[in-house]
Amino acid sequence: MIYTAIDTFYLAEEQLINSPSWKDGIDEVTETTLRIYGCDLIQESGILLRLPQAVMATSQVLLHRFYCKKSFARFNVNSVAASCVWFASKLEEARENQGRCLLFSTEWNVGEKTYL
């Protein structure tokens, strides 16, 4: 059988309720808090990097889509958020900011302010 992207675009109610994070023992409140935290990280980094709002919105959608299939227990929200910002800047063709996205993700993990 051939699958197209449209086959997996929408998530069933069952997939939303029985998320991988829930299966790994993370309750719904904690999962929601981590999703909000990831979106806040994306928004703040986008503002600091002077990214277009389209890049930040795409990053947040990518973050939510990623965690519909993967668990918060297995993937660090900081690293995933940084990866989503970088990938969204490529998708939205904000090429001048891609290098700064990588440097900014270093600051999230290491604490050095190298993104300016």
Q: Is residue 4 assigned to a domain? A: no
- Range of the structural domain that residue 91 is part of: 25-110
Inter-CA distances, 102 with 21, 58, 70, 113, Å? 27, 17, 22, 12
* pTM, entire model: 0.77
The reply to whether 5 falls in a domain is no
103 inside domain: yes
The pLDDT profile of the chain, 116 residues, written as one tens digit per residue, is 555 555 566 777 777 677 888 889 999 899 999 999 999 999 998 888 888 999 999 999 999 999 988 999 999 998 899 889 988 988 887 666 656 665 665 565 555 444 33
Locate 51 and state its tokens. Answer: 């990214």
Total domains in the fold of the chain = 1
Q: State the pLDDT at residue 20.
A: 87
77: left (phi over 0), alpha (psi -120 to 50) or beta: alpha
DSSP string, 6-60: GGGTS--HHHHHS-HHHHTT--HHHHHHHHHHHHHHHHHHHHHTT--HHHHHHHH
In a domain, 77, yes or no: yes
Please check whether residue 48 lies inside any domain of the structure: yes
Would residue 64 count as lying in a domain?
yes
Domain-embedded: residue 31: yes
In a domain, 73, yes or no: yes
Q: Which CATH number belongs to the domain containing residue 98 in this structure?
A: 1.10.472.10
